[in-house]
Amino acid sequence: MSKYAVLNTEFPKVDALERALGTAKYAADYFMPNMLYSGVFRSTVPHAYVKKLNLDKARALPGVAAVLDYTAIPGKNRFGIIVKDEPCLVDDKIRRYGDALAVVAAETQELVDEALELIEVEYEELTPVKSFEEAMAPGAPIVHGQTNVHAKKHLEFGNVDEAWDKCDVIVENTYSTHILSHMFIEPDAGLAYLDEQGVMNVIASTQNPHYDRNEVAAMLGIPMNRVRVKQATTGGGFGGKLDIGVQLHVALLAWHTRRPVKMVRSRTESTMVSSKRHPITMKCRTGATRDGKLVAVDVVMTCDAGAYGSYGPAVIGRAPVHIVGPYECPNVRCDAVFAYTNNPMCGAFRGFGVPQAAVCHEGQMNALAKALNMDPIELRLRNAHKVGTVIPTGQTLTESVGFTDTLLKAREKALEVMPEAMARLKTE
Amino acid sequence: MKRRGTGVGCMFYGIGNTGLPNPAAAFVEVLPDTSVNVIVGAADIGQGSSTMAAAVAAETLGLAIENIHVTWADTQVAPEGGATSASRQTFITGNAVKNACTQAMGELRRTAAEKLEVPEEDLVFRNREIYSSKDETKRMTYPELMGAMSYRGRLAVGAGYYNPKTTYLNPADMSGVPYEVYSYATCILEVEVDTDTGEVTLLKCVSAHDVGTPINPKMVEGQIEGGTAMGTGFVISEKIDVDPKTLAIKNPTLSKYIIGTNMDMPEIYPIAVSSEGEAGPFGAKGLGEPALIPSIPATMAAIGNALGVTFTKTPIFPADIVKAWKDKQAAENQG
């Protein structure tokens, strides 16, 4: 008898049918009687003070129900999953292209677009910070607060400085990864309305409804149990729907108009303002013995995290812990610095810095294999995590460490389905 | 000229938030007709957390997956689920569902033990039956059990939550327990590279993932295949371009930001590897992000292997490949 009655058997996903039939209801599919459409007026410069924001012409357009700037926010105007550094609507200065300055609700989407055209803004432009290096330069313009250092981490395990003498081979490389977009297939959308009990309801495409609830409550200055966030069927996220999207804007507009308000971002707007993958540079020195045992890893990691913190603290916390990969190494150091700039905001993206770390640790393992003239899989097997391994935070792994099996099973299958390719692995 | 290359990529991934509390909760009620309501906070964005919750509930309660209805991600109904991030919902919400079911089973066990006249600890709940592990002739069906529950005025309800066993990390050196459990993976990938055009064709990919216990093998396969699509695209086709003056994204559309299609995918051989552990629900661990990661370094290494050069930067676009190949030939001609 199999150990499990249900697990590891074949059964359909609980939402397979409605997704396959096209009857699943995404946020953009919701309509309510008396519903307004809405949109956001956004900055077209990366770093500036708002000298003047003229909403009068937009407000005067017949069919426009509300045009709001930050002064309409009844509660808090700072949000963010870890660091509350992003405004619902800009109140001090613009920190990136696409920052939200005002929101509009109107009877039709066409009227929304027309009203957005009627909003006038005057900027007092500031020098933008365009890269990690610019952010760290003395005298650089400051994006937030007192310093452009968004976050810093230092991991230290064993004694790296003394370890190099014990190494027979040392490889040194600098790796860098680029900015990517999630390109979840469904652009952000949501709808908000006050129900008959006065509870603010928000139906949205999201990865984190409870967080959204807390942020909407803080923005409106009402208790958390007076906000109901319901996730609509969601067309992917990959981390890009962890930051709050349209939820605050539709809730603010519904609060003031007392009518249901819907917002659907275009693909362009969605991609412009949702978070991106952190581009990380990793300067790495790795030492090993003649027989391929890792002795020391030393990494300096830098990153242009963009205009807001978002999930940056989670990425900078995770990447150093994973920087050696699934390998035992008694001496590890990692110094990481993430900087604020006026570039697109980086945030959560499937892997939280580990894909970037993997580019580094796997690059180094391949470089070591070459330097030692060793089979790359054999080298990995020799260093593989197992039960009892102590990782660079000092944690001892006690169970569920299946890494060696993944190496062996992948090699076995690859030898079966791509034997010539496997022969090529050794001929570098 | 077309050249083939092979690359290996491995990874490990800590499940849940790094060195931080990140609990999730679940509510469960077994109804008189043996159907079950499971309510979780976890947002299902297509990855299958709701299906996972149904499977864990069915396994724990000894019912069929068809008996379970899952309601999710409605904050006025469902308890805290935390973010659908960090590959955490199978591990954390899964454990929460198991804990909620275990609580609901308190009354179910008491009632079954009374009816069958056996000790509670001997009872097995499996495939819609309840029986004694010591004497399998002592058994009853689930409808019989729920009848006995109704007769006694007992309800099978449970609330449970789970917070991974981690510690805050020491700010001085990051020491501590950042995650309770880790997933592992190895990817071996073969490419063909056209050295004249720089075009990369993905040929075959074996990707083996330690998921602890597979909840649903087809969903494991789906995650690995989707992850491979995103991981290979990371290296050879996807890139955000930022305007140097306005710092605006220049290619925010699917026509200018190129993600792979089915036609671009290699033949993928997904492998689910099991490992022994008690931490996850029935030993299960997360796969959402692990599915992506190893194909990134594997693709980089495979392109490098094809050309006999080393790439340390992403992306690797056709122009990068043509240049790397020309540089290599020039160096060899000089040498």
Q: Are residues B322 and B210 in the same domain?
A: yes
Q: Is residue B171 part of a domain?
A: no
Q: Which ranges of chain B have pLDDT less than 70? A: none
In chain B, positions 106-145, which contact chain A (CB-CB < 8 Å)?
Answer: 126-127
The secondary structure element, H or E, covering residue B88 is none
Q: Where in chain A is the domain with CATH 3.30.365.10?
A: 133-180+276-425
Three-state DSSP class for residue B189: strand
Q: Are residues B186 and B39 in the same domain?
A: no
Q: B294, A358: Cβ pair inside 8 Å?
A: yes
Packing angle of the helix pair B295-307, A354-372 (nearest 10 deg): 40
Over residues A174-203, the mean pLDDT reads 98
Task: Write the secondary structure of chain A as one string of H (helix), E (strand) and C (coil).
Answer: CCCCCCCCCCCCCCCHHHHHHCCCCEHHHCCCCCCEEEEEEECCCCCEEEEEEECHHHHHCCCEEEEECHHHCCCCCCECCCCCCECCCCCCEECCCCCEEEEEEECCHHHHHHHHHHCEEEEEECCCCCCHHHHHCCCCCCCCCCCCEEEEEEEEECCHHHHHHHCCEEEEEEEECCCCCCCCCCCCEEEEEECCCCCEEEEECCCCHHHHHHHHHHHHCCCHHHEEEEECECCCCCCCCCCCCCHHHHHHHHHHHCCCEEEECCHHHHHHHCCECCCEEEEEEEEECCCCCEEEEEEEEEEECCCCCCCHHHHHHHHHHCCCCCECCCEEEEEEEEECCCCCCECCCCCCCHHHHHHHHHHHHHHHHHHHCCCHHHHHHHHECCCCCECCCCCECCCCCCHHHHHHHHHHHHHHHCHHHHHHHCCC
Q: Which backbone phi and psi does A384 adopt, to 5 degrees?
A: -60, 140
**A2 falls in which pLDDT band (50, 70, 90)?**
confident
Output the pLDDT for position B97. 98
* Chain A residues within 8 A of B54 when measuring between CB atoms: 14
Is the pLDDT at A328 greater than 80, yes or no?
yes
CATH fit for domain A133-180+276-425, picks 3.40.30.10, 3.40.710.10, 3.30.365.10, 2.40.50.140? 3.30.365.10
- DSSP-assigned beta bridge partners for residue A149: A339
Q: A178, B314: Cβ pair inside 8 Å?
A: yes
Q: Is residue B167 part of a domain?
A: no
Query: Within an 8 Å CB–CB cutoff, is residue A381 touching chain B?
Result: no
Percentage of chain A exceeding pLDDT 70: 99
Pick A354's closest partner by Cβ from B6, B177, B293: B293
Output the pLDDT for position B125. 98
Q: Are residues B137 and B198 in the same domain?
A: no
- Contacts for B274 with CB less than 8 Å, ≥ 6 apart: A402, B210, B211, B212, B213, B214, B283
Residue (of B37, B41, B42) closest to B54 by Cα position: B37
Is the pLDDT at A426 greater than 80, yes or no?
no
Is the pLDDT at A427 greater than 70, yes or no?
no
Q: Is residue B208 part of a domain?
A: yes
For chain A, the residue count is: 428
Query: Within an 8 Å CB–CB cutoff, is residue B255 touching chain A?
Result: no
Residue (of B246, B24, B239, B166) closest to A94 by Cα position: B246
Q: Is residue B255 part of a domain?
A: yes
Output the pLDDT for position A140. 97
- Contacts for A361 with CB less than 8 Å, ≥ 6 apart: A297, A322, A323, A324, A325, A327, B297
Residue where one domain finishes, among candidates B133, B162, B191: B162
Over residues A340-345, the mean pLDDT reads 98
Q: Are residues B90 and B231 in the same domain?
A: no
Q: Are residues B208 and B244 in the same domain?
A: yes
Q: Are residues B122 and B189 in the same domain?
A: no
Range of the domain at B189: 2-14+179-334
CA angle A105, A108, A110 (to 5 degrees): 100
Q: How far apart are CA A364 and CA A107, in angstroms?
A: 58
Query: Within an 8 Å CB–CB cutoff, is residue B266 touching chain A?
Result: no
Q: Are residues B314 and B183 in the same domain?
A: yes
Q: Is the Cβ–Cβ distance between A262 and A193 less than 8 Å?
A: no
Question: A220-236: per-residue pLDDT in tens?
Answer: 999 999 999 999 999 99
* Chain A residues within 8 A of B175 when measuring between CB atoms: 157, 393-394
Tokens standing for A153? 């981490």
- Contacts for A291 with CB less than 8 Å, ≥ 6 apart: A382
Indicate the pairing of strand A48-54 with strand A169-176. Answer: unpaired
Q: Are residues B116 and B262 in the same domain?
A: no
Q: B210, A400: Cβ pair inside 8 Å?
A: yes
Output the pLDDT for position B334. 87
The answer, yes or no, to whether the previous bond of A62 is cis (omega within 30 of 0) is no
Q: Which backbone phi and psi does A190 adopt, to 5 degrees?
A: -170, 165
Q: Are residues B88 and B186 in the same domain?
A: no
Q: How far apart are CA B128 and CA B290, in angstroms?
A: 34
State the CATH class of domain A18-126+183-273: alpha beta
* Chain B residues within 8 A of A173 when measuring between CB atoms: 310, 312
Residue (of A255, A240, A245, A251) closest to A202 by Cα position: A251
* Chain A residues within 8 A of B269 when measuring between CB atoms: 413, 417
In chain A, positions 170-229, which contact chain B (CB-CB < 8 Å)?
Answer: 173-181, 183, 199, 206-211, 213, 225, 227-229
Radius of gyration, alpha carbons of chain B: 25
Q: Where in chain A is the domain with CATH 3.90.1170.50?
A: 18-126+183-273
Q: Are residues B261 and B306 in the same domain?
A: yes
Q: A271, B217: Cβ pair inside 8 Å?
A: no
Q: How far apart are CA B142 and CA B151, in angstroms?
A: 14
Burial string for B39-71 (b: 16+ CB within 10 Å, else e) reads bbbbbbbbbbbbbbbbbbbbbbbbbbbebbebe
What's the DSSP call for residue B74? Answer: B
Output the pLDDT for position B279. 97
Q: Which of B107, B120, B192, B289 is catalytic?
A: B289
Q: Are residues B113 and B206 in the same domain?
A: no
Q: B58, A5: Cβ pair inside 8 Å?
A: yes
* Chain A residues within 8 A of B64 when measuring between CB atoms: 6
Q: Is B289 a catalytic residue?
A: yes
Q: Is residue B41 part of a domain?
A: yes
Q: How far apart are CA B94 and CA B70, in angstroms?
A: 13
Residue where one domain finishes, among candidates B101, B134, B162: B162
Output the pLDDT for position A24. 97
For chain B, the residue count is: 335
Q: How far apart are CA B265 and CA B285, in angstroms?
A: 26
Which amino acid is it at B188?
Answer: I
Question: A28-45: per-residue pLDDT in tens?
Answer: 999 999 999 999 999 999
Q: Are residues B195 and B329 in the same domain?
A: yes
Pick A13's closest partner by Cβ from B173, B219, B231: B219
CA angle A345, A359, B207 (to 5 degrees): 110
How many domains does chain B divide into? 2
The CATH number that applies at residue B92 is: 3.30.365.10
